[in-house]
Amino acid sequence: MIFYILMIEMSLKIHGLFHLYHTNSPDNKDCLYSFTSNNIVNEWQLISYCIRNDTTNFENDSDNYCHGDRDYTFEELKLTNVDSYDLYRWSASIETIDKYEKYLTGVDFSFGNHSYCNCSENWFGIRCQYSFDTRYSFENIIEHQFQEKESLAKQYDVVNDEFLLTCYKGLRCHSTICLDWREICDGIYNCEHGEDEPSECFLLELNQCATDEYRCRNGMCIPRNFLLDFSSDCSDLSDEHETYNLRLDNSLCSFTAKLSCDFRLCDSQQISCGDGQCQKISQRCNNGHDLFLRYNILAIPSNTSFQCWFLMLCMTGEVNTDLMGYNYHDCLSSDDSADKYTFFYSFRKICPSSFWFQSEVNSVYPFIRSFGSICGRALFT
Ligand SMILES: [Ca+2]
Ligand SMILES: [Ca+2]
């Protein structure tokens, strides 16, 4: 354990070295850790970034070829006076360093035939199969990745890309947007057949806690004394919901790696931006995730005339009108005024007796559409 802690300490001081953990793990493997301070709640956070076996396309597990200089057995390394710190400086994996140290200190001589693949500069991995095209530290690389997202936020078709968002992979269904884990059991149907809201969701709500315990939003029980003590105890961080809400500007979640964003739950009546930011339906997500949803909501239905659709679009406001590529001033200057007081007159003049138009406040979008009719004024006022 001391050795493990020592390795973490050293990784903070030396930039440009990448030490993989869990290289033999069957699922989330080849993990890099980012160790940073969360100033908001004065906690250090250790965030792992791993390769998930079901998503990797660039690595062939049957490939045991050493892409570096060559394989050296531990016995060979010992004969040339290589020590564990040398392996550390050469970006060896933590498991390899740990085994080599055990071999050197005589704790386990069975590792003598284990080998180390000696990587060229800037390459790492047990077969030297990875490289970042930079000499920066891992924390700097993460920061740079978040900064790059800012320029993509206005491209509605890009922000739904599952490679740019953290999409929930545990459940596959037909849905308009890539699912965020917050959208599972949140009471809103996001999948066409309701797969995200199974009957088991009720079990989470039924879980009871003792009187001296606090019930987290996900049903977990913690001692009541742990509530609002500026240290997260619920796995969903809901025990610190108020402290985070007061102290956390959740707009930072779009461009910063924070555990408090990863586990943040959105209130009902809010939309999840997929990265920890929660916004009212009338507000925009910093990462643009809402643009894709809005664009699909507002698309012209096949059975509705352009004039009627445009009138309805104008009624949804300037933000949406601009999003769909129209100038909001055209709404105001046209004969079909967007003024709500004259709207009904235009509505009766232009729209047929019945038509479809999606409403942003429709919680079961897109599978049940709002139905507008000449008698349906209440729907829009
Ligand atoms: Ca849902
Ligand atoms: Ca707490």
Distance 97 CA to ligand 1 centre (A): 44
Residues 15, 137: contact at Cβ < 8 Å? yes
- Tokens representing 186 are 């949140």
List the pLDDT tens digit at each of the 381 positions of the chain. Answer: 333 333 333 333 344 689 999 998 887 889 999 887 766 556 678 888 998 776 555 555 556 889 888 999 999 999 999 999 999 999 999 999 999 999 999 888 888 889 999 988 888 999 999 998 777 888 888 888 887 777 766 665 555 565 556 677 778 788 767 788 888 887 777 787 888 888 888 776 677 899 999 998 878 899 999 988 877 788 777 787 766 655 556 777 877 787 778 777 777 677 788 888 888 777 788 887 777 777 777 878 777 888 888 888 888 788 788 888 888 888 766 554 555 556 667 777 888 877 777 665 544 444 444 444 443 333 332
Residues 231, 43: contact at Cβ < 8 Å? yes
Distance 198 CA to ligand 2 centre (A): 29
Q: What pLDDT was estimated at residue 14?
A: 42
Residues, beta carbon < 5 Å, ion ligand 1 = 183, 186, 188, 190, 196
Of the ligands numbered here, which is closest to the C-alpha atom of 229? 2
Distance 71 CA to ligand 1 centre (A): 50
CA distance 187 to 197: 7
Contacts of 48 by beta carbon, 8 Å cutoff, 6+ apart: 21, 28, 31, 32, 33, 34
Distance 309 CA to ligand 1 centre (A): 28
List 214's β-bridge partners, or say none. 222
CA distance 278 to 297: 19
Which one-letter DSSP state was computed for residue 161? -
Q: What pLDDT was estimated at residue 335?
A: 53
Residues 142, 23: contact at Cβ < 8 Å? no
Q: Can you give the residue ranges of every domain in the chain?
A: 2-131, 181-290, 299-380
CA distance 168 to 183: 9
SS3 for 78-99 is: HHCCCCHHHHHHCCCCHHHHHH
Distance 29 CA to ligand 2 centre (A): 30
Q: For residue range 39-92, what is the model confidence (pLDDT) as tens digits?
A: 655 667 888 899 877 655 555 555 688 988 899 999 999 999 999 999 999 999
Q: What pLDDT was estimated at residue 97?
A: 95
Tally of CA atoms within 13 A in the half-sphere of 4 that contains its CB: 5
Of the ligands numbered here, which is closest to the C-alpha atom of 216? 2
Distance 198 CA to ligand 1 centre (A): 9
| Entry pTM | 0.66
SS3 361: coil
